[in-house]
Amino acid sequence: MVDRVTTTTTSPGSRTAPEAGPPGRRSVRRVVFLLIALGALVALCVLSIAVGSRQIPLDDVFQAVFNPTGTEVDAVVRNLRVPRTALGVLVGIALGLAGAVMQALTRNPLADPGLLGISAGATFGVVVSIAVLGLASLHGYIWFAFAGAAVASIVVYLLGGLGRDGATPVKLALAGVAVTFLLHSFTSALVLTDPQALNRYRFWSAGSLAGQSIDIVLQVLPFLLVGAVLAVSSAPALNSLALGDDVATSLGHRLKLVRLQGMLAITLLTGGAVAVAGPIVFVGLVVPHIARIIAGPDHRWLLPNAIVLAPCLLLAADVIGRVLQRPEEIQIGIIVVFLGAPFFIMLVRRSRLAEL
């Protein structure tokens, strides 16, 4: 019964007619789209390894990955581009899942870790750990990224819930913007007094996948893996939550535990992504909506599509940033903003929100 009803929800906070077509045909179409997206992701991974300030032929790429001989090309591919590509996949998955879960929990089509202040909270936590405590390793400051993300999410939700109407989409978005600017002010005040923190913050501020080794990828992997498992395992509960709190409770879900699991997943995913790549915005906003268009509102399909589509967007932006201004690079966060901002404007204009 839940599967049939959940197909009536197209986006957080809205309902429409059920999806057309027999269930079997819908499932086949979803599988086909997911396989196409997986193929695109594989192609983008190869392109990300081959394209850069130095163009590397595909046969040399495969030679360096599977049968290295110690050449300069092998060093570039294995030590620089493979870790960068792997990090892009992990960060994309983290941001895509975090955005999808956040939109489901808040029933807010504008929800995104960057827009609701969570990325800014994680960034502030990392800067505090470096400027005040002198931490320099990922295992040291990543905990502060998690703490900053968690505190920011709680503050935004409390501020957005003030008033008679509770936490409406527009109030949450405005609270997120206010908290984001406040945290950016605190962060700027700290980095201006500490050269080491300023150097790290300059790298984070626009978001980047460059300069990270495979060791960093392996260090952040456990945190992102736990967050992804928590997010994907919450899919059935998120489907029920889309029907309303009363319906979800009647179906046997404990709402406090569902929201706690979701917020823990968002904190781990956003905190880990920001710690290694900086506050990259709009990925968590754009990708869930694209996944919803392709796979429908069922989170058992929506979340896997977000897992594949988000790294596609991130790797495509990274490749574009490396190609547009060779031999220099444009930071990936800047490219993602150019790609995501028009979509955000279109989403705000099409969302029929009375407060706007």
Per residue in 128-164, pLDDT (tens digit) is 888 888 777 777 778 888 888 889 888 888 887 787 7
Structural domain includes residue 257: yes
What is the count of structural domains for the chain?
1
Q: What does pTM read for this prediction?
A: 0.83
Q: Is residue 10 part of a domain?
A: no
Instruction: Judge whether 1 lies within some domain.
Output: no
- Between CA 145 and CA 266 the distance in angstroms is 12
CA 206/CA 184 separation, integer angstroms? 13
In which domain, by residue range, is 223 found? 21-350
CA proximity to 278, closest of 208, 350, 338, 185: 208
How many Cβ atoms are within 10 Å of 252's Cβ, its own excluded? Answer: 8
What are the b/e assignments for 219-245, b being 16+ CB within 10 Å? Answer: bbeebbeebbebbbebbbbbbbbbbee
- The answer to whether residues 238 and 299 touch, using CB atoms and an 8 Å cutoff, is yes
Residue 146 forms part of a structural domain: yes
Mean pLDDT of 97-104: 92
CB 248 within 8 A of CB 77: no
Q: What pLDDT digit, counting tens, does each position of 292-338 carry? A: 888 888 999 999 999 999 999 999 999 998 888 777 888 888 888 88
Strand partners, 287: none
Query: CA–CA separation, 84 vs 279, rounded Å?
Result: 17
Q: What is the CATH number of the domain that holds 282?
A: 1.10.3470.10
Task: Give a yes or no: residue 56 inside a domain.
Answer: yes
One-letter amino acid of 186: F
Half-sphere exposure (CA, 13 Å, Cβ side) for 230? 23
Query: What integer best gives the mean pLDDT of the chain?
Result: 82
**Rounded mean pLDDT, 78-101:** 93
Dihedral angle of Cα 170, 291, 220, 110, to the nearest 10 degrees: -10
Q: What is the pLDDT of residues 328-354, one digit of tens each?
A: 888 888 888 888 778 777 766 765 443
Q: Is residue 229 part of a domain?
A: yes
The answer to whether position 232 is within a domain reads yes
Percent of the chain predicted with pLDDT > 70: 87
Q: Which residues contact 52 (CB under 8 A, 6 or more apart)?
A: 76, 81, 322
Output the pLDDT for position 350: 64
DSSP label at residue 80 = I
3-29 average pLDDT score: 53
Q: Is residue 336 part of a domain?
A: yes
* Residue type at 340 in one-letter notation: G
